[in-house]
Amino acid sequence: MQSDIEAILREGEAAIAAASSTDDLVQVETELFGKRSALSGAHRALGALEADQRIAAGRRLHEVRGALEAQVADRHDALAATERAELLVADRLDLSEVIPNLVRSPLSRGHLHLVSQARDELEDVFVGMGFEVAEGPEAESDWYNFEALNMPPAHPARGMYDTMYLDIGEPETVLLRTHTSPVQIHLMEEAVRNDTLPIHAVMPGKCYRLDTPDARHLPVFNQIEGLVVDRDVTFGDLAGTIQTFTTAYFGEGMQSRLRPAYFPFTEPSAEFEITCAICRGAGCRTCSNVGWVELGGCGMVDPAVFAAVGIDSDVWSGFAFGFGIDRLALMRHEIPDLRSFMENDIRFLSQF
Ligand code: DAH
């Protein structure tokens, strides 16, 4: 019995010393002190001993248990301290880190994101052409985003928009706008209410679609919408506006062209394309060798839209257009992947 107890002590000490983590040590503790441990077995065996032997062995067992418990506690403290030190090193943030060549002076200031710069420039170009700048809400009702734009419930064109709905009110009644076109509706309603027609406005802003980010799509992106409502507005005015904008933004030598398309809120509708800014029309990978890239949609405001906001389409006519700002900036700066815009990598952002 005596030699068994000494073996328990030696083996226990070895196991405690060998534990390499606090998790490990918990395991060792169970093996040392649990019901099936040698220590518990020895306790149970005491009953079979003569009285005087039982007292001596019992006392020694008690000492051994105490010694092992103390060693577990010491080992735990040591292991926990090491683990904490390792965690601190792993989680360390070096706030004094300087990335060479990025910080040009100790006082260097940040600047607007490339997409914000592009939006500002576009606004300037359009203001120069006589447009006002307006904004609208990013959370919209179904009516503004779809129905007033001549897309009643179950209209197939709704399928173009993978919509993010908000959990407000009845299901699928409140959403994050999928395009900036609903701002047209707000402006026309306001102009009718205040009797301030005509309208010549551009409306930049964020849009949301349930897209997985890839090189050409982001779930949150920016569009700029245009709307003119006036007397005797023609498709020629629309084409001229787009061409004027194209040269003002991209420079001489850049052409725009319209191709027939379908949008529920315009009739006739067109997609507009501009000369590929990268190859200047010669053909390259970005434009799939056609020399043109598609920028957005446009057309003459559909009479159904005028009817939804209470504008008399016998008196008023109009055109509208909308296109992506992110893609425009991407093209102008030959950026291969739209995701760079939302990664917040200072090495990318500081180039613009
Ligand atoms: N809202 C359309 C979209 O995001 C783009 C668009 C097409 C806007 C035609 C217009 C327009 O104003 O007339 O897909």
Q: Which atom of ligand 1 is nearest to the CA of 226?
A: 12
Distance CA 283, CA 2 (A): 93
Q: Give the pLDDT of residue 336.
A: 86
Q: Which atom of ligand 1 is nearest to the CA of 223?
A: 4
Q: Give the pLDDT of residue 52.
A: 85
Q: Give the pLDDT of residue 197.
A: 97
Q: CB-based contacts of 322: which residues, under 8 Å, 6+ apart?
A: 179, 180, 181, 223, 224, 225, 226, 296, 297, 298
For residue 262, the CA-to-ligand 1 centroid distance in Å is 10
pLDDT band at 121 (very low <50, low <70, confident <90, very high): very high
Give per-residue pLDDT as tens, 311-340. Answer: 999 999 999 999 999 988 988 888 989 999
Q: Which atom of ligand 1 is nearest to the CA of 265?
A: 13
Distance CA 340, CA 30 (A): 52
For residue 128, the CA-to-ligand 1 centroid distance in Å is 22
Give per-residue pLDDT as tens, 225-238. Answer: 999 999 999 999 99
The model scores a pTM over 0.75: no
pLDDT band at 56 (very low <50, low <70, confident <90, very high): confident
For residue 179, the CA-to-ligand 1 centroid distance in Å is 7
Average pLDDT of span 125-136? 97
Average pLDDT of span 61-84? 90
pLDDT at 104 over 70: no
Q: Which atom of ligand 1 is nearest to the CA of 323?
A: 5
Which of residues 137 and 66 earns the better pLDDT score? 137
How far does Cα 122 stand from its chain's mean position? 24
Residue for token pair 């008023």: 316
- Please name which of 280, 302, 299 lies closest in space to residue 291, comparing C-alpha atoms: 280
Q: Give the pLDDT of residue 101.
A: 62
Kindly report the number of other CB atoms within 10 A of residue 294's CB atom. 16
Average pLDDT of span 132-141? 98
For residue 169, the CA-to-ligand 1 centroid distance in Å is 27
pLDDT at 162 over 90: yes
The one-character DSSP state at 300 is E
Give per-residue pLDDT as tens, 19-31. Answer: 998 999 989 888 8
Domain ranges of the chain: 2-91, 114-349
Radius of gyration of the chain (CA): 36
Residues above pLDDT 90, as percent of the chain:
61
pLDDT at 103 over 60: no
CATH class of 114-349: alpha beta
Q: Give the pLDDT of residue 106.
A: 64
Query: Which residue owns the Cα nearest ligand 1 atom 8?
Result: 322
Q: Which residues line ligand 1 (CB under 6 A)?
A: 179, 181, 225, 263, 266, 269, 296-299, 320-322
On whether the CB atoms of residues 216 and 340 are closer than 8 A, the answer is no
pLDDT at 1 over 80: no
Average pLDDT of span 305-316? 98
Q: Give the pLDDT of residue 269.
A: 98
Six-digit token string for 66: 């105490």
Which DSSP string do the residues of 112-152 spell out, in sequence order? --HHHHHHHHHHHHHHHTT-EE----SEEEHHHHTGGGT--
